[in-house]
Structure 1
Amino acid sequence: MDTTVTKIGAVVVAELRSAGYMNSTIGNYQKTIKRLADFVEERGGFYTLSLGAEFASMTTSPRTGHFSAQRRFDFGRIVGVFDSYVQSGHVDVSMRTRGGGGRQPATSEFSRLIAAWDADMADRALALATRSAYGRISRSFLVFLEDRGVVSLERADAASILEFLESLLDRWAKSSLFWVVSNFRPFLTFINRGDLIDAVNLTGVKRSHRILPVLSDHDQELLVQACMSKIVSARDSAITLLALTTGLRACDIVALRLIDINWRERTIGIIQQKTHNPLTLPLTVMVTSKLGAYILDERPDSNDDHVFLRCVAPHTKLSDHSSIYRVTKETFRKAGVTDIKAGTSFLRHNAASRLLRAYVPLATISAVLGHANPESTNLYMSVDDDHLRECVLPVPTGARS
């Protein structure tokens, strides 16, 4: 096998063109291939897995002297493709995400620890979004320790925890630290450091329950009209209406498969990504019609059996919740509803609130939303102003202020 970068690069580019990749994407691959060729040429001229690993580790920008997420993504992507060819004789051009959560620990102890943590989460079948969130905060903590000369967990103490959380305030709102702490505790449990968990608890970070808005009747009508018109694609209409009417989580929309749809009964049946509980939901006529229009007329030919696919090559399932957010955000814009942050969390909240206003029992709403804990549904009572007012008792005559 010819393992020069020129030879492998030509095979890669040909495979990208065959898969229907955009010219701009192929151009980015070619730029990275040229940089890899220059790197390998200085080291004997033939590509090896070890040279690829060395190239992928060059994540510091020579221009700024700082870590470059773009450089890590580009270099890691091309090395993954080259490695697939060297190992199997075939080029794997499946989509790669920008995941990784920033810098990786550099020391061998911390690198092994992160690998073990990733393996443990995979063994427990945690949802990909959960694994990503847990992994991101644990890597950030270990890199934080390395930057301060701490290269062994034995030297990490309560002060390290407090300083780490304080450092996050540069890029996290204080109100968001609850989510950071929630994602951090499982890692500290994994490394069996109860003293560090106690330090986290001492910070007193609490969850804030802000009252979320809901769509007005007018805005909801605008959104539905846009989805049923030609200004929004069938795919994006189906995604938005599905979130609007069922309150499905973004991860469940991404994971939805063709076999999950019961066209005769107009229902979908899934295993939820977050709770791993089964859930069956009815589909409205609007959602069913848009799903049918997408699958019959718009959906690209693909061996991937997920319902919603990327519009451009590779035609695989949508990457993650951010893909759903981009879809709903653009649909809201086209509908003329621009004063609301239109993610699936908002649409989930909106669906629950409308069910509550229609006097649907909380237990039923909890079942529709797939809550593992029925008490989670109580949050939605905070936006039902009319019903809350009905609960207010009159002030007794003669009562003092």
Structure 2
Amino acid sequence: MEKKFSTLVEGVLAETASIGLGDASVRYYRSCCHTVVGFCDGRGIDQLTEQAVEEFRAAMDERAHRGEIGPTMRSTLEKTARMMLQLQQTGVVVWQRRRPASGLSTTEESVLAAFSESLRGELASGSVRLAVCEVRQFLRYLDSAGCTLGSVTLDDVRGFLVKVRPRHTSGMGNTVWAIKRFFGFANQQGCSELKVEAMLARVGPRRQRALPCFTPEETGRILAAIETGSPRGKRDYAMVRLALSTGLRCGDIVSLRLDQIDWRRDEIHLVQHKTSAPLTLPLSAEAGNAIADWILHGRPACQAPEVFVRVYAPFVKLSGPTGALIMNQWLHKAGVSHQAHDGKTFHALRRTTGTRLVESGAELELASQVLGHRDVASSRRYIALADESLRKCCLPLDRFAPTREGLR
């Protein structure tokens, strides 16, 4: 390895070791550093610059396009190069998580970023993320079809909708809405002259499926199955307890910060991740004790502001399919049957809370406030899960005379 890069490489490796990554991970980053240095040697680059890192990124994009490396490796290689550049420019390096590359060109990313910015302030942050996610898939489809935004046709849009239709079992409303909003923005910005309103004017109604909640017996089995003797068990138990007592979404739970818990008043103050609306909820004794047990006896010592963090280094905020991993493990341990798409997910804990509120006789407006719904109509679906309450609403049929002999 060339001496001119040895200081940068050792600095990056020292940072990976200092945050607690294992020996295998350190070796992995050492290999990535070798790749960066080998690229620089092959191109005759004596010093890392922004241009050199961009050339390296473009070369790794080509390798990923040819299938030589996967998206995760490609992202890690770029992160390694940028950490080396940061160390050279500032004398320090900060390790941080990076998501795999989106697969879009720089121009497409800039258009998508401008589209996202145009929606902010008008829509909730969750709706903005939904629209951007749908449009990102559409742009990837155009790339795979060899088409650009400036040359897109109605057939291209129709082809994309046909391709993604099987993945949207509950309806295409969100996808069509996002595409219409994007082309409205693209028309204003001069990125595309295609008008899609006529083709997308009518969309089939969204099918609402009554997803299940957990019965009291299943809830007890899940809580009893979580092994609270380990740090991970303490964390998972606290998250499940908090979800059952407050009805918070998984995204709000993993984003909950230490300073958002008022221990004196037994309250939680947060801003919902999906709606960007503030919410204050009572902290029950069961959930509060579980969180305290995790913080005092399970949570690793770290600088992360979030309550719930990884139990292995790096000790940062939870990300990825956290809720799915928790439920898959403890549902199996509890003996609760679970299959793909059966609705028994972490979000089912939220449905359980809403259903219990309705069954307790709480007004629908109160249930809506507790769950943080902007519209009371969003809380009405929990009525469909309150079987006993619905039975009380059934009308007797003895006053209706049958019209056929076979019905007597």
Deviation at 1:294, TM superposition (A): 1.0
Alpha-carbon shift at residue 120 of structure 1 (Å) = 4.0
Residue number in structure 2 paired with 1:283 = 283
Match of 2:191 in 1: none
Indicate if the aligned counterparts of 1:144 and 1:164 stay in contact, CA closer than 8 A.
yes
Q: Distance in 1 between matches of 2:181 and 2:247?
A: 28
Whether 1:157 aligns to 2:156 is: no
C-alpha displacement of 1:93: 0.2
Tell me: CA distance 1:71–1:169, structure 2 relative to 1, closer, same or farther (3 Å). Answer: farther
Q: 1:200 to 1:26 in 2, by over 3 A?
A: farther
Q: 1:16 to 1:166 in 2, by over 3 A?
A: same
Post-superposition Cα deviations, 1:198-242, rounded to whole Å, max 9, x if no partner, equal 43344x243221121121222111122234743662111111111
Q: Please state how far the C-alpha of 1:118 moved relative to its aligned partner.
A: 4.3
User: Which residue in the other structure is 1:117 paired with?
Assistant: 115
Q: Is the 8 A contact 1:95 1:316 kept in 2?
A: no
CA distance in 1, matches of 2:184, 2:68: 32
CA distance in 1, matches of 2:23, 2:171: 40
User: Which stretch has the larger CA shift, 187-196 or 376-385?
Assistant: 187-196
Q: 2:171–2:204: 8 Å Cα contact kept in structure 1?
A: no
Query: Which SS does the other structure have where 2:54 is aligned?
Result: helix
1:103, 1:139 within 8 Å by CA — same for their partners in 2? no
The change in CA–CA distance for 1:85 and 1:120 in structure 2 (over 3 A counts) is: farther
Tell me the C-alpha RMSD between the 2 structures: 2.9
The answer to whether the 8 A contact 2:304-2:316 is kept is yes
Q: One-letter code of the match for 2:384?
A: S
Structure 2 stretches lacking a partner, 5+ long = 189-193
Q: Which residue of 2 aligns with 1:206?
A: 205
Using the size of structure 1 for normalisation, the TM-score is 0.86
Residue 162 of structure 1 aligns with an amino acid whose one-letter code is R
Query: How much has 1:376 moved relative to structure 2?
Result: 0.5
**Aligned partners of 1:63, 1:366: CA distance in 2, in Å?**
47
Write the distance in 2 (CA, Å) between the matches of 1:174 and 1:60.
35
2-structure distance, mates of 1:342, 1:397: 40
Show the 5 A alignment for 1:146-225: 146-153=143-150, 155-169=151-165, 172-175=167-170, 177-192=172-187, 195-202=195-202, 204-225=203-224
Report how many residues are paired.
Answer: 391
Task: Note the C-alpha offset of 1:308.
Answer: 1.1
Q: Structure 1 counterpart of 2:185, which letter?
A: F
Deviation of 1:123 after TM superposition, in Å, equals 7.3
Give % identity: 26
Counterparts of 1:2-401 in structure 2, within 5 Å, are 4-46=4-46, 47-57=48-58, 58-61=60-63, 65=67, 68-98=70-100, 102-105=102-105, 108=107, 110-120=108-118, 127=125, 130-153=127-150, 155-169=151-165, 172-175=167-170, 177-192=172-187, 195-202=195-202, 204-227=203-226, 229-230=228-229, 233-319=233-319, 322-339=321-338, 342-395=344-397, 396-400=399-403
Cα distance 1:310–1:157, how it changes in 2: closer, same or farther (>3 A)?
A: same
Residues 242, 248 of structure 2: 8 Å contact kept = yes
Q: Classify 1:42/1:122 alpha carbon distance in 2 versus 1 (closer, same or farther; 3 Å).
A: farther
Letter matched to residue 112 of structure 2:
I
Distance in 2 between the 1:195 and 1:60 partners? 34
CA contact (8 A) 1:59 1:72 kept: yes
8 Å contact from structure 2 (residues 64, 70) kept in 1: no
Between 1:333-342 and 1:4-13, the stretch displaced more is 333-342
| Cα distance in 2 between the residues matched to 1:189 and 1:255 | 33
1:93-112 CA distances to partner (integer Å, 9 max, x unpaired)?
022234x5x42136x4x343
Structure 2: how far apart are the matches of 1:67 and 1:200? 38
Structure of higher CA gyration radius: 2
Supply the AA of the counterpart residue of 2:157.
I
Q: Deviation of residue 151 (structure 1)? A: 2.6
Report the CA distance between 1:332 and its aligned residue: 2.8
Shift of 1:13: 0.4
Q: Is the 8 A contact 2:308 2:318 kept in 1?
A: yes
Q: Is the 8 Å Cα contact of residues 309 and 317 (structure 1) preserved in structure 2?
A: yes
Instruction: Tell me if the contact between 1:246 and 1:369 (Cα under 8 Å) persists in the aligned partners.
Output: yes
Q: What is the identity, as a one-letter code, of the residue corresponding to 2:401?
A: G
Give me the whole-angstrom Cα distance separating, in 1, the residues matched to 2:201 and 2:74. Answer: 35
Question: What is the Cα deviation at residue 54 of structure 1?
Answer: 2.3
Moved more, 216-225 or 361-370: 216-225
Given that 1:77 and 1:96 are in contact with CA atoms closer than 8 Å, whether structure 2 keeps it comes out as yes
Contact 1:309 1:318 in 2 (8 A): yes
